[in-house]
Structure 1
Amino acid sequence: MSTEFIAVQLLINNTKMTLYNIYSPPSIQTELEAIKVQDDNLLIVGDFNSHSPSWGYDTLDPRGESLEEWLITNSLTILNHPDDPHTCYSRRWRTTSTPDLAFATDDIHRITERQVCDQIGGSDHRPVKLLINNINKEELTNSAPSWNYKKADWKLFQELADKYCKEINQSGKVDRDARSFNKAILDAAKKAIPRGRRKNYKPYWTPEMEVLHSSLCSARNTMELAPTDQNVMQHNRARALYVRERNQQCRKSWKEKTASLNMEKDTQKLWRLTKALNDDNPSRGKTVLQQGEQLLTGKRAATLMAQCYKQESSCSISQEQGKEVRSEINATFKKATSEPCMEVDITLTELQRALKKLNRKKAPGPDGVSNDMLKQIGPIAQSLLLQIFNNSWRQGRVPDIWKNATIHPIFKSGKDKKDPQSYRPISLLSCTAKLLERVITTRLQWFLESNYKLDPAKTGYRQHRSTDDQVAYLTQDIENGFQENPHSVL
């Protein structure tokens, strides 16, 4: 058996930080020379099984003396404090100790806080948290807390949305009215829909487990302070009850999760579960792009992606060509005659039908209003929204708040993660604007289909038709040809 090492290099705001995790068995000397010490941005943690008063022991053993000399030689600072709580309890000897140590270079030591947490699941070792407060901090990249629709009070939301919309003085200007409507919906949502999510959420966690876990923590603390036979028995009993309940709830939660999966109807839900089990979630890490010899994160990485997308989507034409195209478009509009069905106001029935067809759990655009909110608005809010739609329809103007989009880069599997071309841009548009698009699209499709404006051979993007039909027709024609005609003719 030898000393076990694992080292990783983290990139935090363009700063490379090296982290070592070490386990040194008590029967051998720690192989400290294998650690590549650097002058800055270095953090070393692990179970060293060495004694020294510097980290809370009463005596200094040879392993602890060797470790202290190594720290002094390499200008490293220990993050442990002699008065910190012990991190390990020996069931055999009924004693506490602190084999779990942390060292760092001076720059990391000055911004790091060490905290010994409560026990987890009855383990002999307590978890130790190291909080690095600031390391070359550039910007805050935390995303806004999400809405918890499962706990939403939709009745209260509908009442508040109607109340706030009723208080709006309509100006007839689509930009102002759209912003007022958007604010009314979000104000109602903030009071009726919880936001955020629990950190380290466990789907199997129950109130009973919370009580058992608290009892276990209390029994652990009592046992460490007074390791009598009775206290040890009470701790072991509390630990057994907690472990049994945890295993039962884990199995129950997993059975309920798998029983709710439908391979035929909800493959997306199964796919999300598979990715979560494989920890295949690119959003958990920060996107790092490379431009020449420089690594970019945060806003600089976003700027580089925007430049690449702009270059791909731009069309280089001269000013003369642009003027010619615009003149031709304007002339076409002036000559065109609109159909009556495309000029009349949008009706409340059309709006309500479109609202019913909205899909839930869709990410909103920059305005923050989601499909889940729109589906729950009451009659007064619907009336205001309908008026905004009709004003926009008559004036031929789209509110500016609906024109913005949030672009999310989605990584293409198998590509280089540092190349901006390896990400596919997904635009999150305003759900309110897409609702109006749905109303107009439905009306336009009815006009085209009822007046036979589309080629009968066209099947793509048409109701009750599919491109699979074309493949089936072609396949059947080929089979008929083989049966009716000589193969040489085919």
Structure 2
Amino acid sequence: MIQNSSSRNYLTKDLGNTLRILQLNIEGVSRPKSDCLTKILTENKVDVVLLQETHCSDQSQLNTRCKIPGFTLAAATYHPKYGTATYIKNDITTVTHIRTQSDNNIYVIRLKVADTEIINVYKPPAQPWINDYIHNIEHPGLVIGDFNSQNTKWGDRATNDDGARVSDWAETENLFLLFDAKDKGTFHSARWAQDYNPDLCFTTLDSKGLPLHSSREVLSGFPRSQHRPVLINIGLQIPIVRSIPKPRWYFQKANLEEFSEELDFNIQWIPPEPASYERFVGLIHSIAKKHVPRGFRKDYIPGWSPRCQELYDDFQSTQDSDVADELILALDSARKRNGAP
């Protein structure tokens, strides 16, 4: 399957099964907000929705305020000021509810979607983070939510006590922070006119110490919430670059011998003087069109080689994760050699 990225000028080729998760501190659900959320989910082909700060006291209130067509409420925690909810797309049937916690004023929902554990977290600003509150996370797994903490590791200007505690917890649990400093902040303070990153995503590591194959994208703002939706892609994805539709000369397949012969024969009819410059250029261009292929590729994968194609075909037939890792490493090595991003 090939999917469009919502904000970048490339496509992605998915290897095997993929999962798309959207996380948002919605700052109180409502029917209009649900409609806006549904549009984002449809546009980005989302499978799992993790909401924080639903501001609902019970399930009846949540069901009345939050209706997302095509999704089912898998689990929720309730509080008039806090609360969380996890929704799963209706066509996903392999869902297991592991645990729901709301003691210590930290709200956690743990589910398994197929073989992937997904943990939805909300920690209120005044509640200190408790390091042993979430532990024994199986691989593959993710911990996603609003941690209300600041740390320079995830792009904040300073590290506060909760930021230090969350960082220590992630190291103890052997988790990987999925973060790109070039992304927008997940929270824009209208009061301070500044971005922060309270919304975080951590992934587990495999037996080789490699993080779960995943990517993260901070989307545009959401109505009546200072938080921005965060889109997380789980699974192997290869970027396919969109080429500028401008023809280029393909000199590697040029017939230089015939090009030289025809040029040598015709150039004798052009006088060697400045006034003949345009005529000379026209001759070069005309002969080149006959002997040098010219065109452009609509889409291409940087670094894709016959070896990559072989690994890709092998993975499609075996679904072997080791083959997938080898393919990704081969592409990364090729990009580094060619100076590609």
What band does the TM-score fall into relative to the shorter chain?
Answer: 0.3 to 0.5
Query: Relative to total residues, which structure has the larger helix share, 1 or 2?
Result: 1
What is the TM-score of this pair, normalised by structure 2? 0.36
Larger radius of gyration: 1
Query: Relative to total residues, which structure has the larger strand share, 1 or 2?
Result: 2
